[in-house]
Chain A
């Protein structure tokens, strides 16, 4: 068993270029959304348990902290969705030349911000 193997993707060694930063943020948002999926499960359970339990959620939902977390969740989910779609296209070898990689990266940032603000403004 190898116990002293190198770690990937060498966070402290890699130069922080757009592609590596996008990859790291994809993983960070992935962890956040995984925690979010557990919270969604708790939320639907509170609905199933009845109005007394759902009241707990309503109390929490009115707080500023909850709204801030929900805003970050919206940002995270759109970023992960758009960037994940790009990774799916890369799986088929599409859009992998350096210029397209950078342009699609900027497009993802733009789409994430537009979609998040659109959802929060409607």
Chain B
């Protein structure tokens, strides 16, 4: 009885596969477990394995063809049997695919074949060889499938997972086929995803956070809270207060920035328009750098909104200004996009009017991240209190010359300590640290600011 071998979904997201190379030629005997062909999925090159024996009567598609999932690719039957009947049942789709693709997607040459160790193809997640689905009407054929109890997670293409686990995996960008399920028959359930890092294990990196978009921006993107995010929020808030804050401190070498600013201000002094120039402060540069670093780390440019997190696609840096009755935080809007002179003029204007209490409400609300600087008051370092709903604030200490190790010697260098307070419901330790790393890099290499 001739049977069809069809393209199976070899990864959870696979919709079609490219048949890289036939490993069994027409007329060759086939036994259970033989590799029939290599198939390139959207993730890796995998093997199409026969689960029933006989003779490979016919290749329905040629090597190089791209075949939609569940379309037939070959016919297996008894020696001498005419496979054209079964082959003739294929749908038109495969035919079109075969006709349309060979020129543009030729079979790989031998030299570019994957590694000869078929059991461990390169760059593939730890999944067993894929198995071809055998459609047959021969009811007496013994089931070639592996025993249920022995089915490792990810065997075949069917990943058993509860609807909740699937949803959680989709939200976190986790590949379920890489997980072991602890439920009945290897079903992946919610607890199996506990502690699984986002976008783990597959090398595929879906973006759970919005990246810098190229299309026209909406001002922000609201992201519903995932289960893990809800739990983190609840547990940490319980532990520390309404805003579970943690602090990250980094020491920045300011020599280059110091020199750059000296050069800038010297240039200003020499300029004929000096009267109209605004002196650029370190704080202005820090605001600019924070804005640009936030652009690279949108995870820190966010608001906690109780039932969701608002990731801002615009960067508005709040600047803490001491006034007579306390402090106020005027906002430098689109700080990432503005030039230093523009920022300097704006901070001067805003700070001045803040002290005169002449700020309009819209000028001190709507920030997405704050900067507080006590360096001019000789503070080495400090921790600042988050300005909710913002999720982070940078506390800037003074620039001080101190001995540091430099190429096996002790040198005097200008250093500045910055401390970021993070709302742990929004920002995790590594996320905040990466932002701080970028910021430090920018301050230590001021050229980065003109990128």
Bound pair (A, B)? no
Give B residues with C-beta under 8 Å from A: none
